Amino acid sequence: MSSYLNQGGLWVNDRKYTPNDPDFVGSINVEGVEHKIVGWKSTSKNKQAPLINIKLCNPRPVPMPEAKVLKEIDDDIPF
């Protein structure tokens, strides 16, 4: 899981069991939402084609730290 906003990373998929499984797996945080990211090595002979084709999936909200809530002080101040 990426701990920085708008950043992520890919690693070699060590659980690739079929040729259709992604070559790379990882996660990316996009504006506070964590996404799983997968990628496949390009097999195109076109030199203009990307080296890795990627796909975002499974968005999950990233839990943000809860704001500290000030407790109301219920003091009776006599005047």
**Residue 31's closest CA among 70, 72, 61?**
61
What H or E segment, with its residue span, contains residue 79?
none
> What's the CA gap between 39 and 34, in Å, rounded?
16
**pLDDT for residue 29:** 87
Q: Are 13 and 23 in contact (CB under 8 A)?
A: yes
2-16 pLDDT, tens per residue?
Answer: 567 888 999 999 999
pTM: 0.65
Strand, coil or helix: what is 51?
A: coil
